[in-house]
Structure 1
Amino acid sequence: MSSINQDPEQIARDKIDQMLREAGWMVQSKNKVDLYANIGVSVREYQTDVGPADYVLFVNQKPVGIIEAKREEEGHRLIAVEEQSTGYAQAKLKYLDNDPLSFVYESTGTITRFTDHRDPKPRGRNVFSFHKPETMAEWLKKGKSLRERLQSIPELNTTGLRPAQIVAINNLEHSFKKNRPKALIQMATGAGKTFTAATFVYRLLKHADAKRILFLVDTKNLGEQAEQEFMTFQPNDDNRKFTELYNVQRLTSSYIASDSQVCISTIQRLYSILKGEELDESAELANPEENSWMQQQISKKKAMPVEYTPKVPIEQFDFIVIDEAHRSIYNLWKQVLDYFDAFLIGLTATPDKRTFGFFNENVVSQYTYEESVTDGVNVPYDVYTIETEISQKGAVIESGWFVDRRDKLTRAKRWQQEDEDTEYKRNDLDKKVVNPSQIRNIIREYKRALKTTIFPNRIDANGDYEVPKTLVFAKTDSHADDIIKIIREEFDEGNDFCKKVTYKIEEDPKSLLNRFRNNYNPRIAVTVDMIATGTDVKPLEVLLFMRDVKSINYFEQMKGRGTRTISSDALREVSATATSKTHFVIVDAVGATKSKKTDSRPLERKPTVAMKDLLGAITMGVADEDLFLSLANRLIRLEKQITDKEKDKLLDYTGGKNLKQITKELITAYDVDAIETKAQLAIDKLCTDGVLSVSDISPAIREEAKAKAQQELVREASKTFNGELNDYLDNVRKQHEQIIDSINIDTVTKSEWDTTSEDKAKETVQNFTAYLEANKDEIKALSIYYNQPYNRRDITFKMIKEVMEKLQMDKPTLAPEMVWNAYATLEEVKSTQPKDELTALVSLIRRACGIDSELKAYDKTIDENFRNWIFKQNAGQHNRFNQEQLDWLRMIKDHVVSSYHIEMDDLDYTPFDAKGGKGKMYQLFGKEMNGIINELNEILAA
Structure 2
Amino acid sequence: MTPEAKARLLIDQKLETAGWVVQDQKDLNLGAGQGVAVREYPTDTGPADYLLFVDRQPVGVIEAKRDEAGHNLSVHETQTERYANATLKWRKGGTPLRFLYEGTGQIIYFTDGADPAPRARELFHFFRPQTLADWAAEPDTLRRRLTRMPPLPERNLRDCQINAVTGLEQSLAKNKPRALIHMATGAGKTFTAITSVYRLLKFGGAKRILFLVDTRNLGKQAQQEFMAYTPPDDGRKFTELYNVQRLASSNIDPHAQVCISTIQRMYSILSGTELAETSEDISLNEVGQSNAQAKLVQYNPRVPIEEFDFIVIDECHRSIYNLWKQVLDYFDAFLIGLTATPDKRTYGFFNENVVAEYSYEQSVVDGVNVGYDVYEIETEVTRKGATLVAKEWVDHRDRKTRARRWAQTEEDTAYGATDLDRSVVNPSQIRQVIQAMKTAVETSIFPHRKETPKTLIFAKTDSHADDIIRMVREVYDEGNAFCKKVTYRAGVDAETGQSVAGDDADSVLANFRNDYHPRIAVTVDMIATGTDVKPLEVLLFMRDVRSKGYYEQMKGRGVRSLDAEALKKVSNSADGAKTHFVLVDAVGVEKSLKTESRPLERTPTLSLDNLLKGVAVGARDADTVQSLGNRLVRLAKQLDDKALARIKQASGGIGLQDLARGLVQALDPDRVLADALDAAKAAGITRSQDTVTDAELDAAGRQRVDAACQPFDNPALRDLVESSRRDREQLIDIINTDSVTRSEFAAQAQANAEAAVGRFREFLETHRDEIAALGFFYAQPYRRRELTLDMIDELHDALSRPPLMLTTEKLWTAYARVQESQVRGSGVRRQLTDLVSLVRFALGMDEELRPFADSVDKRFQDWVFRHNARRATAFTPEQMEWLRLVKDHIASSCRIERDDFDYAQLAGKGGLQRAWHVFDGQLDELLAEMNEELVA
How high is the TM-score relative to the length of structure 1?
Answer: 0.67
Q: 2:45, 2:379 → 1: CA distance?
A: 83
Aligned pairs for 1:403-414 within 5 A: 403-414=394-405
What secondary structure is seen at the aligned counterpart in 2 of 1:531? coil
1:581 aligns with 2:575: no
1:524 aligns with 2:516: no
Q: Is the 8 A contact 1:402 1:416 kept in 2?
A: yes
Q: CA deviation at 1:32?
A: 2.5
1:722 aligns with 2:652: yes
Q: CA deviation at 1:567?
A: 2.8
Q: 1:809, 1:763 → 2: CA distance?
A: 15
Q: CA deviation at 1:147?
A: 0.9
Question: Letter of the aligned partner of 1:427 in structure 2?
Answer: T
Q: Is the 8 A contact 1:552 1:598 kept in 2?
A: no
Corresponding residue number in structure 2 for 1:735: 725
Question: Letter of the aligned partner of 2:554 in structure 1?
Answer: M
Question: Letter of the aligned partner of 1:285 in structure 2?
Answer: D
Q: CA deviation at 1:594?
A: 1.6
Corresponding residue number in structure 1 for 2:38: 43
What secondary structure is seen at the aligned counterpart in 2 of 1:576? coil
Aligned pairs for 1:635-650 within 5 A: 642-649=608-615
Higher alpha-carbon deviation: 425-434 or 524-533: 425-434
Q: CA deviation at 1:208?
A: 0.8
Corresponding residue number in structure 1 for 2:910: none
Corresponding residue number in structure 2 for 1:347: 338
What secondary structure is seen at the aligned counterpart in 2 of 1:54? strand
Q: 1:259 to 1:774 in 2, by over 3 A?
A: farther
Corresponding residue number in structure 2 for 1:329: 320
What secondary structure is seen at the aligned counterpart in 2 of 1:570? helix
Corresponding residue number in structure 1 for 2:98: 102
Q: 1:352 to 1:51 in 2, by over 3 A?
A: same
Q: CA deviation at 1:35?
A: 2.1
Question: Letter of the aligned partner of 2:262 in structure 1?
Answer: T
Corresponding residue number in structure 1 for 2:549: 553
Q: 1:107, 1:409 → 2: CA distance?
A: 53
Q: Is the 8 A contact 1:551 1:598 kept in 2?
A: no
Corresponding residue number in structure 2 for 1:239: 235
Q: 1:405 to 1:208 in 2, by over 3 A?
A: same
Corresponding residue number in structure 1 for 2:382: 391
Corresponding residue number in structure 2 for 1:68: 63
1:439 aligns with 2:430: yes
Corresponding residue number in structure 2 for 1:205: 201
Q: Is the 8 A contact 1:650 1:725 kept in 2?
A: no
Aligned pairs for 1:594-609 within 5 A: 594-597=591-594
Question: Letter of the aligned partner of 1:733 in structure 2?
Answer: S
Per-residue displacement from partner, 1:145-192 (whole Å, max 9, x unpaired)?
Answer: 111110001122111111111111111111111111111111111111
What secondary structure is seen at the aligned counterpart in 2 of 1:427? coil
What secondary structure is seen at the aligned counterpart in 2 of 1:451? helix
Q: Is the 8 A contact 1:189 1:349 kept in 2?
A: yes
Q: CA deviation at 1:756?
A: 8.2
Corresponding residue number in structure 2 for 1:668: none
Q: CA deviation at 1:718?
A: 13
1:428 aligns with 2:419: yes
Q: 1:773 to 1:436 in 2, by over 3 A?
A: closer
Q: CA deviation at 1:304?
A: 2.5
Q: CA deviation at 1:279?
A: 2.8
Per-residue displacement from partner, 1:665-713 (whole Å, max 9, x unpaired)?
Answer: xxxxxxxxxxxxxxxxxxxxxxxxxxxxxxxxxxxxxxxxxxxxxxxxx
How many pairs are equivalent? 686
Corresponding residue number in structure 2 for 1:698: none
Q: CA deviation at 1:811?
A: 6.5
Per-residue displacement from partner, 1:893-935 (whole Å, max 9, x unpaired)?
Answer: xxxxxxxxxxxxxxxxxxxxxxxxxxxxxxxxxxxxxxxxxxx
Question: Letter of the aligned partner of 1:280 in structure 2?
Answer: A
Q: 1:754, 1:816 → 2: CA distance?
A: 13
What secondary structure is seen at the aligned counterpart in 2 of 1:82? helix
What secondary structure is seen at the aligned counterpart in 1 of 2:197? helix
Q: 1:764, 1:207 → 2: CA distance?
A: 63
Q: CA deviation at 1:123?
A: 1.0
Of 304, 307, 332, 1:313 maps to 304
Q: 1:811 to 1:416 in 2, by over 3 A?
A: closer
Q: Is the 8 A contact 1:551 1:597 kept in 2?
A: no
Corresponding residue number in structure 2 for 1:15: 10
Q: CA deviation at 1:237?
A: 1.4
Aligned pairs for 1:59-208 within 5 A: 59-94=54-89, 95-208=91-204
Q: 1:400, 1:29 → 2: CA distance?
A: 83
Of 346, 353, 362, 1:362 maps to 353
Question: Letter of the aligned partner of 1:305 in structure 2?
Answer: L
Q: CA deviation at 1:739?
A: 2.5
Per-residue displacement from partner, 1:463-521 (whole Å, max 9, x unpaired)?
Answer: xxx11111111111111111111111111111111111122343222222222222221
Q: CA deviation at 1:422?
A: 4.2
Q: CA deviation at 1:453?
A: 1.3
**CA-atom RMSD in angstroms:** 3.7
Q: 1:492 to 1:275 in 2, by over 3 A?
A: same
Higher alpha-carbon deviation: 482-491 or 408-417: 408-417
Q: 1:277 to 1:180 in 2, by over 3 A?
A: same
Q: 1:278 to 1:572 in 2, by over 3 A?
A: same
Q: Percent identity?
A: 57
What secondary structure is seen at the aligned counterpart in 1 of 2:126? coil
Question: Letter of the aligned partner of 2:464 in structure 1?
Answer: H
Of 740, 745, 759, 1:748 maps to 740
Q: CA deviation at 1:418?
A: 5.1
1:476 aligns with 2:461: yes
Question: Letter of the aligned partner of 1:24 in structure 2?
Answer: G
Q: 1:49 to 1:766 in 2, by over 3 A?
A: farther
Q: 2:759, 2:46 → 1: CA distance?
A: 79
Per-residue displacement from partner, 1:36-59 (whole Å, max 9, x unpaired)?
Answer: 332211111112222111111111
Q: 1:197, 1:718 → 2: CA distance?
A: 51
Question: Letter of the aligned partner of 2:176 in structure 1?
Answer: R
What secondary structure is seen at the aligned counterpart in 2 of 1:305? coil
Q: Is the 8 A contact 1:352 1:599 kept in 2?
A: no
Q: CA deviation at 1:340?
A: 0.3
1:501 aligns with 2:512: no
What secondary structure is seen at the aligned counterpart in 1 of 2:747? coil
Q: Is the 8 A contact 1:768 1:819 kept in 2?
A: no
How high is the TM-score relative to the length of structure 2?
Answer: 0.68
Q: Is the 8 A contact 1:550 1:598 kept in 2?
A: no
Question: Letter of the aligned partner of 1:215 in structure 2?
Answer: F
Corresponding residue number in structure 1 for 2:295: 304
Q: 1:284 to 1:401 in 2, by over 3 A?
A: closer
Q: 1:171 to 1:721 in 2, by over 3 A?
A: farther
Higher alpha-carbon deviation: 339-348 or 763-772: 763-772
What secondary structure is seen at the aligned counterpart in 2 of 1:48? coil
Higher alpha-carbon deviation: 359-368 or 719-728: 719-728
Corresponding residue number in structure 1 for 2:267: 271
What secondary structure is seen at the aligned counterpart in 2 of 1:51? coil
Aligned pairs for 1:249-268 within 5 A: 249-268=245-264
What secondary structure is seen at the aligned counterpart in 2 of 1:735? helix
Q: Is the 8 A contact 2:412 2:606 kept in 1?
A: no
What secondary structure is seen at the aligned counterpart in 1 of 2:356? strand
Higher Rg? 2
Per-residue displacement from partner, 1:545-587 (whole Å, max 9, x unpaired)?
Answer: 1111121111111101111122322222222222321111111
What secondary structure is seen at the aligned counterpart in 2 of 1:43? strand
What secondary structure is seen at the aligned counterpart in 1 of 2:26? coil
What secondary structure is seen at the aligned counterpart in 2 of 1:584? strand
Q: 2:533, 2:244 → 1: CA distance?
A: 24
Q: 2:272, 2:410 → 1: CA distance?
A: 58
Aligned pairs for 1:278-293 within 5 A: 278-291=274-287
Corresponding residue number in structure 1 for 2:445: 454
Question: Which runs of no fewer than 5 residues in structure 2 stay unpaired?
Answer: 492-500, 600-604, 619-646, 660-716, 770-807, 823-840, 848-936
